[in-house]
Amino acid sequence: MAATFFGEVVKAPCRAGTEDEEEEEEGRRETPEDREVRQQLARKREVRLLRRQTKTSLEVSLLEKYPCSKFIIAIGNNAVAFLSSFVMNSGVWEEVGCAKLWNEWCRTADTTHLSSTEAFCGFYHLKSNPSVFLCQCSCYVAEDQQYQWLEKVFGSCPRKNMQITILTCRHVTDYKTLESTGSLPSPFLKALKTQNFKDPACCPLLEQPNIVHDLPAAVLSYCQVWKIPAILYLCYTDVMKLDLITVEAFKPILSTRSLKGLVKNIPQSTEILKKLMTTNEIQSNIYT
């Protein structure tokens, strides 16, 4: 309220904006249509964990159903290629299930029938030692889906007597350092571990102010909160597509306790990796 020059009292507009809040609230109230759209979107973006044979959803989380002592997770195509060539070819692995999810990064709009050539997320266990688990995740798990993924895989009350190893890649331009990026020996490996992980890492630890992003960060945070020993091996590379030199940068991990006993024939694995590269090589004429 304000008084004018002539003595009348008028309602003055309030610059603090408090008077407009009532109108805004009305607009914010959800209509049934909004609710419907929101529910549809939530259904579309749901993360489903399916059994291999029956393709039906698992009732409980993966690690509640199957006991696990060692869990190796590869996120990104280079990490997936590394595990495929070096670990999966050294033993008999059985697929136990896969995660189906859709987000804007997926190339298909069809949420129900994702073909086998699309990015995937598969879970395997070693036949000779079924408590050793492996996850190959080459699809992008969006921020809102990461919590669902963790719930469906680890459950709400995970066991503490397992060890998690995560492998992933990041572009070297994300690496913050005083050195010039041209002088960095990319690709190079950095590690980040939870408080309960006591073994030494096979490479230097990730320095501040660098941070980890996306699903690897979600898994590591989850393990830190639940006091599960976990280590993340992050490869900074200048080539984000499938690349032999980047995949070979993960080799020092073969000597760690995480992968001990799981890798047998390294020369044969290197050959398999080379074959994988040539079959996946896109014939691009952009670069010479």
Partner 1 sequence: MDVCTFEKVGIRGTNIVVLGVEKKSVAKLQDERTVRKICALDDHVCMAFAGLTADARVVINRARVECQSHKLTVEDPVTVEYITRFIATLKQKYTQSNGRRPFGISALIVGFDDDGIPRLYQTDPSGTYHAWKANAIGRSAKTVREFLEKNYTEDAIASDNEAIKLAIKALLEVVQSGGKNIELAIIRRNQPLKMFSAKEVELYVTEIEKEKEEAEKKKSKKSV
Name the site residues for partner 1 (rule: CB under 8 A).
185, 238-239, 241, 243-245, 274, 278, 281, 283-288
The angle, 0 to 180 degrees and rounded to 10, between the axes of the packed helices 143-154 and 214-225 is 50
Least distance between partner 1 and beta carbon 87 (Å): 22
Which lies closer to partner 1 via its Cβ, residue 116 or residue 288?
288
Which lies closer to partner 1 via its Cβ, residue 18 or residue 283?
283
User: What is each CA distance from 45 to 28, 33, 36, 40, 102, in whole angstroms?
Assistant: 23, 18, 14, 9, 5
Residues 201, 229, 169, 50: is their CA dihedral positive or negative? positive
Q: Residues near 201 by Cβ (< 8 Å), separated by ≥ 6?
A: 191, 193, 231, 233, 256
Least distance between partner 1 and beta carbon 81 (Å): 15
Q: How many CB atoms lie within 10 A of CB 216?
A: 25
Q: Which two three-digit tokens encode residue 9? A: 């009292």
Contact of 58 with 51, CB cutoff 8 Å? yes
Least distance between partner 1 and beta carbon 236 (Å): 13
Least distance between partner 1 and beta carbon 239 (Å): 6
Element (H, E) at 9: strand 9-10
Which lies closer to partner 1 via its Cβ, residue 53 or residue 279?
279
As a whole number of angstroms, the distance between CA 281 and CA 228 comes to: 38
Which lies closer to partner 1 via its Cβ, residue 61 or residue 237?
237
Which lies closer to partner 1 via its Cβ, residue 176 or residue 274?
274
Least distance between partner 1 and beta carbon 84 (Å): 18
